[in-house]
Structure 1
Amino acid sequence: MLGDISALDNVYIVCGRTDMRKQIDGLCAIIEEQLKMNPHENSIFLFCGRKKDRIKAIYREKDGIVLLYKRLTGSGSYKWPRNQNEVKSLTWKQFEWLMDGLEIEQPKAIKPPVKK
Structure 2
Amino acid sequence: MISPSGNLRIYLATRPVDFRKGMDGLAAIVQAECDLDPFSGAIFVFRAKRTDRLKIVVWDGTGLVLVCKRIEGTSFSWPRARDGVISLTRSQFEALFEGLDWTRIRARVQPGPVQA
TM-score w.r.t. structure 2 length? 0.82
After TM superposition, the structure 1 stretch with the greater mean CA deviation from structure 2, 28-37 or 6-15, is 6-15
The CA distance in 2 between the partners of 1:110 and 1:22, in whole Å, is: 32
Matched position secondary structure for 1:70:
strand
The CA distance in 2 between the partners of 1:82 and 1:110, in whole Å, is: 19
1:5 and 2:28 matched: no
What residue identity is the alignment partner of 1:69? C
Indicate if the aligned counterparts of 2:13 and 2:85 stay in contact, CA closer than 8 A: yes
1:84 Cα offset (Å): 2.3
Indicate if the aligned counterparts of 2:43 and 2:56 stay in contact, CA closer than 8 A: yes
Q: Matches of residues 1-116 of structure 1 in structure 2 within 5 Å?
A: 4-7=3-6, 9-72=8-71, 74-106=72-104, 110-112=106-108
| Higher gyration radius (CA) | 2
Mind listing any 5+ residue stretches in structure 1 that lack a counterpart?
A: none
The CA distance in 1 between the partners of 2:24 and 2:89, in whole Å, is: 26
1:3 Cα offset (Å): 6.4
What residue identity is the alignment partner of 2:64? I
> How many residues align structurally?
109
TM-score w.r.t. structure 1 length? 0.82
Identity %: 33
